[in-house]
Structure 1
Amino acid sequence: MKKSKTFFSSISAKLMMLIIAVTFVLAATLVTVSLVMTSKILTEEAASHMNLFCEERGDDLNTELLRIEDAVTSLSRWAKSKIPDVETISDDSELRDKIVDDAVDLICFMTEDNKFIQGAYIHYSLDITGVTGREEGVYFTRDDNGNFVDIPFTQEEIENDPVADYWYYGPIRNKKALWTKPYFDYSVNDYLISYVEPVYIDDVPVAIIGVDISFSRLLEWVDSLEYHETGYVYLKEGDGSVHYHIDELGHDNLHSDEEDQIIENEELMSQPATGDKLIRYYYEGRDRVMAFVTLRNGMKFVLCDGYDDIYKERALTMILMVSITIGIEFVFAIIATYMASRVTTPLRKLTEAANEISEGDYDVVLPPEDNNEIGELSRALRIAVDNIRARKDEIEATVRAQDRKIEEDAKTMKRQEDDLDIMKNLAYIDPLTKVKSKHAYEDTVKYIDEQIKNGTAEFAVVMCDLNYLKHINDNLGHKAGDEAIKKTAGILCSVFPMSTVFRIGGDEFVVIPSVLEYAKIDEKQELLKKLLVEQHESSDNYLERISIAFGCAVFDRKKDHSFHEVFDRADQIMYEDKRRIHERDGISTER
């Protein structure tokens, strides 16, 4: 009697369901892993993007702050170099006034073009002048038209100034440069932050030099930054005690970190930057995230956005992946049904043969024992696995060999780069005079030409030539000639101590003045002439004194298109000076 069969009693159905179940589990596992990895990647990408925005905009702001720090530091060093000692500067009011007058041009030159700067000043300390009604310094501030104007400010007014503790007493107590916290200055009717450096001589405060930044203009710039559609930017104190928004500046009870309910990465709140992570928090009932970096003045530059807005792309991607997974599962179910029927055909034939035998029909033809589909599939699979394993071992061996070769090549390249850096550094210094070499000069010329193309160049060229070097070598020997070359370099370095001096030939030198010495280029030329006159008067023998012909030319952006045009003018002026010197000394003009 034949037993009735249900769908699930057949081997074909069971195998089909097994394939479908295994396929479903594998697909679900892969999708789950993919969702987790995709979520992680998109989460890291969102965090990276916000942190990159903070770093780039923070760098823009730090650049402006650094320019202000450099300006104040340069003015402080310059002022200190002009003050002989505490007693002299205290007694000599004319010297004090002269230093202030000389500082005016430097203050305007270094600060006037910065849009955030509200004012700049240099004041002598009360320890030097006492409390008097006399102006002992200069204070520039911007008027309503944005121009720098000089505001009278006496020493008596320092004691009565309600914000003097920020810009005067605080830095003096600190004994070093500092950035102040924001404060309201009624004299300009604005909130300011200041970078102030006291000038000390023999542990006595002599002067105070500072630059005021309009904090409201700074916040307006910060508020104007846009991040996606819902992101916003603000500044806060480094300890999070106060958050600064332009529309809340001057209000009582300003927002602080204590009002933020931190959900994730609370430990980052005390760090200088969020790095590659985000801080998640609740504020006013909304789920938000933030990233920040710390600025040079100690404040933090903060970018905030809604949690759902930042991870909107992640949510949409997950929905899409789940939808695709359901579609793939449906397709796999159809494929599994078809494949199950193909795989179970040999088994079905064996079953039919067995049924026929059970009914007494022994003349059945059975499939060959070692030549059926299942056997062929098993052998094919085993061969495939063996081939794959052999190929895998071969690939792994090849990869290991390539990794070793790459590591060895990397070490070789590192040694070559180190050797190249050492050779390049040696090539930048002239071995005889220790000033910069011709190679360094050529690289500097390329850099200045790029500045000319970008419209940011402002420089001068001083071309110098040691006279009579051939005569010295011929009459006193090359050792004496080398000494003359070194003395020439020493004279130029003494006149231009803050500038770069290059030796570009046997007896040829070029000086490219620094920013401070460029502003005083006429004074530097007069000083060089004075030293050369002293050399001329030091000996009647022209071979025993240093004689230098020089010419100076200043870059004119209206007519100069390259460094060499300025150099050629300086070189021509130098040749004219050389002819004059040779005529004076009665010596042939051959170089």
Structure 2
Amino acid sequence: MRSIQTKFIALILSCVLLSSLVIGGAGVRIAHTVVDRDSAQIMNLLCSEKAGELDGLFSRIEQSVKTLALYASEQLDSLDRLKNDADYREAYTARLTDVAVNAADNTEGALAVYVRFNPTFAPPTSGLFWSRTTRNGSFQKLVPTDFSTYSPSDDEHVGWYYIPVNNGCATWMEPYYNQNIDVQMVSYVIPLYRDNETVGVVGMDIDFGVIEEVVNNIRVYDSGYAFLVDARGLVMCHREIPMGTPMGSADESLIPVVAELENGTTGSGLFTYGWKGTEKELSFRTLRNTMRLAVTAPLAEIDASRNGLVRHILTALLLISVLFVALTVLFTRRLVRPLKELNVAAQKIAQGDYSVTIRNQTRDEVGTLAESFQKTVDSLQKYISYINGLAYRDPLTGVKNKTAYLEAERQMEERMRTGQPEFAVVVMDINGLKTVNDTCGHDFGDILIIDACKLICRTFKRSPVYRIGGDEFVVILENGDLEHYAELLEEFERGMAGCYSARPGEALSIARGIAVYDSQTDLVFANVFKRADDAMYQNKAAMKARPAQSAAPGEPAAR
């Protein structure tokens, strides 16, 4: 017959082993959950960051062409004279030339700039065309393409004119190869109209190598990389697949990837696929020119840190189990209470509860283990709080930063896909910050930013406020603030009139624009933000036009 002590030791050893398994299993499960989530965040944040970098480049190009198009429209006194008066047409072209060449000189990657007139009423080579003959050469005047030589359906030679005109809007053209200077190019073209009649087009040719350089420099994990495809799944930039190749035809395993990319969606998860016998995961974002930037890495590299952590957990589990067995033989009764508490603590951690406090600690190895476990939990809790504070809080103003805004954007897009949320976006931009920085110093500029942030937070006290740029803030309105946004904007205007900027005697000036989500027209969150941003720039222009007056309170939201 086995003694009571033997049975008790066997019982305690069973409990110890069970507790160790629970702790180890919880650790493995946490490793899987946390590392997989962090891997997805790393991939998505990197993809979002680089997509933002490319979108910034596209935005600067678009702004240069828009500025030139606006100038061309403003300088056109009479469409009839442009049609019928050759001297006026020549003088008008001359006025545009300096502005066009200057815009191209100050646009990253610009290789050519042109303003072409409608060939139905103007000579077939009318307009202006300046181009570099080499990548780093200066702009030179060239003879514009003769429209009479080509059919309007000849997209290869004159599609840059007829496609935007037929689209009736600004258009990013597909990349093409310029044999004259051995450069792959992409064009952005804006059609000009006057009195519902096509005047012509304004456009720039951009060195596609500038875009390729950004894409090719993206690295993730050990061998991960990025690639670029268009909305139809044609490869635009890839380290292994030639440009223009349908991605699905390169390998049958990529057909699901093409379908995913064509959807043009974004999300927090990663898309798994196979490529040349290697399992990979992919994250992508849709760029403002409709191309898709994808970031991909082998699954083995993504899971490497998780597998290493699991090995360490299992090794630690083995060592702890051996230690517990030895201690159980010597101190069976003293181990009962702390082991139960360790088991409960492990279960709480497995459920994500890090508010663990171990009270029953003995003065032996088990007590040391419990103390180490408590320190680990405390350090983990402090570390998580510290990381969250760094990742989502703006250090100057204390409000949420751009990373938090991107996460809020992702969550709102998820709600937009699964339902019809009611919300509005307010975009605000501090006027005169650069002047304050230049004249008074950046310390006063920081004071101006803080004062503006205080006013925004005081007005929209029930809504999240994000600082997404040096002088730009975003507020997402829901519920009561959404219902009373007009009153809040009036309160904001009154509050702004009573505040002073960093320069004595000058009132705080903040341009703002608001857009309310419309499920019929807003496919993604960026559509709502774009309308709010446009409304803000309109408000900024109005404030500059009447400096003695503030923008009219209660202006309707952009819809």
TM-score class, shorter: 0.5 to 0.7
How far apart, CA to CA, are the structure 2 residues paired with 1:121 and 1:503? Answer: 36
Match for residue 336 of structure 1? 328
Check conservation: 1:233, 1:301, Cα contact below 8 A. yes
Q: Distance in 2 between matches of 1:228 and 1:324?
A: 27
Aligned match for 2:29, one of 21, 27, 36: 36
- Distance change >3 Å, CA 226–CA 137, structure 1 → 2: same
Q: CA deviation at 1:172?
A: 0.9
Q: Give the Å deviation of 1:176.
A: 0.8
- Identity of matched residues, %: 20
Give 1:279's aligned amino acid: F
Cα contact 1:120–1:141 (8 A) shared by 2: no
Can you give the 5+ residue segments of structure 2 that lack an aligned partner in the other structure? 337-455, 462-487, 512-540, 550-559
Deviates more, 1:311-320 or 1:24-33: 24-33
- Aligned equivalent of 1:210, options 197, 203, 214: 203
Q: 1:176-325 maps to which residues of 2 (within 5 A)?
A: 176-245=169-238, 249=242, 253=245, 255-256=247-248, 259=251, 261=253, 269-325=261-317
Alignment of 1:362-511 (within 5 A): 417=460, 421-426=492-497, 438-440=506-508, 500=544
Match of 2:340 in 1: none
Note if 1:63 corresponds to 2:56.
Answer: yes
> In structure 1, what residue type is equivalent to 2:278?
R
Shift of 1:154: 4.5
Deviation at 1:233, TM superposition (A): 1.6
For 1:54, the equivalent position in structure 2 comes to 47
Task: Give TM-score scaled by structure 1 length.
Answer: 0.56
Q: Secondary structure at the match of 2:177?
A: strand
Corresponding residue number in structure 1 for 2:415 = none
CA contact (8 A) 2:221 2:302 kept: no
Q: 1:293 to 1:135 in 2, by over 3 A?
A: same
Q: Indicate the residue corresponding to 2:70 in structure 1.
A: 77
Distance in structure 2 (CA, Å) of the matches to 1:20 and 1:263:
54
Structure 1's 198 and 18: CA in aligned 2 closer, same or farther, altered over 3 A?
Answer: same
Q: Is the 8 A contact 1:85 1:201 kept in 2?
A: no
What is the distance in 2 between the residues matched to 1:97 and 1:284? 59
Which position in structure 1 is the counterpart of 2:93?
A: 100
- Shift of the alpha carbon at 1:325? 0.6
Q: Is the 8 A contact 1:136 1:155 kept in 2?
A: no
Q: Is structure 2 residue 58 aligned with structure 1 residue 14?
A: no
Max Rg structure: 1
Q: Deviations over 1:145-185 (max 9, x none)?
A: 33222211153466277623431111111111111122223
CA distance in 1, matches of 2:221, 2:275: 20
SS of the counterpart of 1:227? coil
1:282-301 deviation digits (Å, cap 9, x = unpaired): 10111111111111111011
Which residue of structure 2 aligns with residue 138 of structure 1? Answer: 129
1:10 shift after superposition: 1.4
Compared CA separation, residues 280 and 246, structure 1 to 2 (3 A): closer
Q: CA deviation at 1:265?
A: 9.8
User: SS of the counterpart of 2:48?
Assistant: helix
1:21 aligned partner, one-letter code:
S
> Per the alignment, in what secondary structure is the counterpart of residue 35 of structure 1?
helix
The match for 2:139 is: 148
The code of the aligned residue for 1:280 comes to T
CA separation in 2, counterparts of 1:153 and 1:143? 18
Alpha-carbon distance in 2 for matches of 1:181, 1:343: 72
- For residues 42 and 144 of structure 1, the distance between their equivalents in structure 2, rounded to whole angstroms, comes to 45
Q: Partner of 1:114 in structure 2?
A: 107
CA contact (8 A) 2:130 2:139 kept: no
- Unpaired stretches in structure 1, ≥5 consecutive residues: 345-412, 430-436, 445-496, 506-591
Rate the CA distance shift 1:19–1:300 in 2: closer, same or farther, 3 A: same
Mapped to 1, the partners of 2:113 and 2:329 lie a distance apart of 84
Rounded to whole Å, the distance in 2 between the matches of 1:64 and 1:29 is 52
Amino acid at match of 1:215: F
Contact map agreement 1:220 1:246 (CA 8 A) in 2 = no
TM-score, normalising length: structure 2: 0.59
Secondary structure of 1:163's counterpart equals helix
Please give the residue correspondences for 1:532-543 in structure 2 after superposition, counting only pairs within 5 Å. Answer: none
**Cα 1:57–1:439, aligned 2, differ >3 Å: closer, same or farther?**
same
One-letter amino acid of the structure 1 residue matched with residue 49 of structure 2 = E
- Give how far 1:41 is off: 0.7
CA distance in 2, matches of 1:342, 1:143: 83
- Paired with 2:18 and 2:271, the residues of 1 have a C-alpha distance of 36
| Counterpart Cα distance in 2 of 1:343 and 1:303 | 51
Work out the CA distance in 2 between the residues paired with 1:265 and 1:319. Answer: 33
User: SS of 2:131's equivalent?
Assistant: strand
Given that 2:13 and 2:325 are in contact with CA atoms closer than 8 Å, whether structure 1 keeps it comes out as yes
Aligned-pair distance for 1:226?
Answer: 2.9
Q: What does the per-residue CA deviation read over 1:272-314, in whole Å, with 9 as the maximum and x for residues that have no partner?
A: 3543221111101111111111111110111111111122111
Separation (CA, whole Å) in 2 of partners of 1:222 and 1:198: 29
Change (3 A) 1:428 1:224: same
Q: Given that residues 65 and 203 in structure 2 are in contact (C-alpha distance below 8 angstroms), is that contact kept between their aligned partners in structure 1?
A: yes
Aligned to 1:528: none
Change (3 A) 1:268 1:16: farther
Contact 1:196 1:208 in 2 (8 A): yes
Cα shift at 1:261: 3.2
Which amino acid in 2 is paired with 1:439?
A: A
Specify whether residues 224 and 157 from structure 1 end up closer, same or farther in structure 2 by C-alpha distance, changes over 3 A only.
farther
Identify the residue that residue 117 of structure 2 maps to in structure 1: 124
> SS where residue 169 of structure 2 aligns?
coil
Write the letter of the residue equivalent to 2:332: A
Which stretch of the first structure deviates more once superposed, 306-315 or 241-250? 241-250
Q: Identify the residue that residue 27 of structure 1 maps to in structure 2.
A: 20
Against the structure 1 CA distance between its residues 117 and 42, is the aligned structure 2 distance closer, same or farther, given a 3 Å change threshold? Answer: same
Counterpart of 1:439 in 2: which secondary structure? coil
Q: 1:166 aligns with which of 146, 159, 165?
A: 159
Q: Which residue of 1 aligns with 2:397?
A: none
Query: 1:343, 1:219 → 2: CA distance?
Result: 63
Rounded to whole Å, the distance in 2 between the matches of 1:282 and 1:41 is: 24
Provide closer, same or farther for how the CA distance between residues 268 and 415 of structure 1 changes in structure 2, counting only shifts above 3 A.
Answer: farther
Whether the 8 Å CA contact 2:257–2:273 is kept in 1: the answer is no
Post-superposition CA distance 1:394-441 (Å, at most 9, x none): xxxxxxxxxxxxxxxxxxx96655577444444589xxxxxxx93247
